[in-house]
A and B are shown apart, each in its own frame.
Chain A
């Protein structure tokens, strides 16, 4: 608002004005001389004009055939930005000239010039400005000095600006890199969160389902017990001590018998067919399931009696199969519950081998086509979230299966890797991992598989690596000398970890 401000701004100006003064006479002195000469001239003194703040001296794109030589105050130059709006491009101080560019080129104004703080300026029409050399040579000489200074100063500033631009670009590039890294990191975190969420949902689904399956399975098991008692009561009602004893033997044998394998069964069937050529083949096949020692005892008995005793044997056998199968269901449910674990349970001291065994049980069907070799000696416990580690085992085992294709040998081994570390190796007999892929294999979204994996859980090696890292462990891959890849999980043993984990 006041002139003091102008001076102050001028004093603190850092845009190279002060440097521009060197090599020529002091600028303020020249300005003072211009003013003095103009005021002394009757023709020019009337052209010293004042302009209040906010007033536009030039408008971009318009013609105004006047040149202003600033004696006091400040003017800001604005240029329309290609992106809309306008930006301040320069600040004009006493001693600078406004309108020179249009005067030289004849083009419309290149910029807007707006009074920043009240201005006193010598205002010359192009015509008068052009004839100054003759009409006022002394003033003309001063103005020449000012214009020359102006040019040098602007050149310096251009160089400084270029430097600034380069620095800015470098900073920008750096920031962009950082941004890119942050976005990657965020994506990674997001996919981890999605994964955790999926596993949590799956966990609670499985827990619910396990409960639903457990109830009928327990009911079946209970009924097996009742049926067994009932059948034994029925057996007691068979008249004749010998007959009762024989029936009991067939019953008990059925309750214990193992189904013979197909080869044994076939040879028994062939023997029986030779001994009893009259008996129909389906009956002979059923008889082949009865252990020969039980049958031999009764070699004297007649055909319809054999059929009856066979029914008693099969009642026992079927009851046994129901019992074993429902126990298997219950067992599977227990493991499934442990495996899926709704939500994260946080870290606890665990035996790694439990999780591996649970995972193998869950993946039993997928592993059928492979040879599975386990070498799981006692190792110290570790601190980890068991549910999350199961994701690692699932992924590594599943990955090994994918690498092997239709057949092969899966080997899982654990042991100590140094005084306070333990390892688990998951090894396949597939083609191994080549050097090129080794780098990429742990990156998010990396896959060699074209189809979506069967679990539809988007399990990835990158997530496995993150989980292992979260437990202060390491997941690495190497190739076995005799072929195949070995994925190794190395984890710190829990403190005081001897082999006492159960």
Chain B
């Protein structure tokens, strides 16, 4: 079964290390990858897709050398092969205009302000990945332990009903 990756993009190694560590609880089901720049992130996405795996969620910092986070997210939003991917802006420094762009043009699904709490980050990741699993039409059962069981169960229930209805 192809894997669903979580990708974290930030130019600060300390931040990447901490985020990866905070998400360790999910990693059994959703391997975490880290990238220090937008370019590295795009190369990584290419590699993930080459091995027929998927990218389910991206955590992206805004202020980085080279392409900034919001622009990266806008670019990725335009890609059909990533249309289900959940996009989280993860920053302490986005100005008003950047934030407006992030919502209107990059279509972010969540905004996490730095500094963050481990529980908050985990909760955001769980919610977003739950949405991803539901939207992707995958079988939710293998992910039940890690994600929002209530929402997944409701989804399974509704799907079964629709199936029998047809």
Contacts and interface: CB of A to CB of B under 8 A. Distances in A.
Interface of A: 259, 261-263, 265-266, 280-282, 285-286, 289, 321, 325, 365, 368-369, 406-407, 454
Nearest to B30: A281
B64 interface: yes
Contacts of A454: 95
Contacts of A281: 27-28, 31-32
A427 to B, nearest CB: 19
Nearest to A285: B20
B93 A261 contact: no
A289 B65 CA distance: 24
B36 A261 contact: yes
B85 interface: no
B86 to A, nearest CB: 20
A289 B18 CA distance: 13
A127 B106 CA distance: 101
B98 to A, nearest CB: 11
A289 B17 contact: yes
Interface residues of B, number: 25
A159 B11 CA distance: 84
B74 interface: no
Given A285-B20, A289-B17, A369 B27 contact: no
A321 B18 CA distance: 12
Contact of B34 (A262, A286, A325, A406): A262
A262 B63 contact: no
B21 A369 contact: no
A154 B40 CA distance: 95
B16 interface: yes
Nearest to B40: A262
A257 B9 CA distance: 22
A75 B68 CA distance: 88
B147 to A, nearest CB: 18
A261 B40 CA distance: 11
A79 B27 CA distance: 99
Interface in B3-18: 11, 13-14, 16-17
A280 B71 CA distance: 34
Contacts of A289: 17
Contacts of B31: 281
A325 B12 CA distance: 13
Given A280-B27, A281-B31, A285-B20, A259 B13 contact: yes
Interface in B32-81: 32-36, 40, 63-66, 68, 71
A321 B14 contact: yes
A259 B17 CA distance: 9
A326 to B, nearest CB: 13
The list of the 10 closest CB pairs from A to B, nearest first, reads A282-B24, A259-B13, A262-B36, A282-B27, A281-B27, A262-B34, A368-B63, A262-B35, A281-B31, A368-B65
Given A261-B36, A285-B20, A365 B14 contact: no
A263 B95 CA distance: 30
Interface of B: 11, 13-14, 16-17, 20-21, 24, 27-28, 31-36, 40, 63-66, 68, 71, 93, 95
Contacts of A265: 34
Contacts of B24: 282
A162 B24 CA distance: 95
B119 to A, nearest CB: 17
Nearest to A273: B31
Contacts of A368: 11, 63-65
Contacts of A406: 68, 71
A107 to B, nearest CB: 72
A386 to B, nearest CB: 29
Nearest to B35: A262
A454 B95 CA distance: 10
B66 A407 contact: yes
Nearest to B16: A262
A124 B28 CA distance: 126
A286 B24 CA distance: 10
Contacts of B13: 259, 261-262
Contacts of B32: 281, 285
Contacts of B35: 262
Nearest to A324: B14
Contacts of B64: 368-369
Contact of B14 (A259, A266, A280): A259
Contact of A266 (B33, B63, B95): B33
Contacts of B95: 454
A369 B36 CA distance: 14
B63 A365 contact: yes
Nearest to B31: A281
Contacts of A263: 40
Q: From A259, A266, A285, A407, name the one whose CB has the most chain B CB atoms within 10 angstroms.
A: A285
Contacts of B17: 259, 289
B51 to A, nearest CB: 12
A286 B66 CA distance: 28
A282 B21 CA distance: 7
Contacts of A285: 20, 32
Contacts of B65: 368-369
A369 B68 contact: yes
A35 to B, nearest CB: 93
Given A280-B27, A282-B27, A369 B63 contact: yes
B22 to A, nearest CB: 10
20 contacts: A259-B13, A259-B14, A259-B17, A261-B36, A262-B40, A265-B34, A280-B27, A280-B28, A281-B28, A282-B21, A282-B27, A285-B32, A286-B21, A365-B93, A368-B65, A369-B63, A369-B64, A369-B65, A369-B66, A407-B66
A285 B66 CA distance: 26
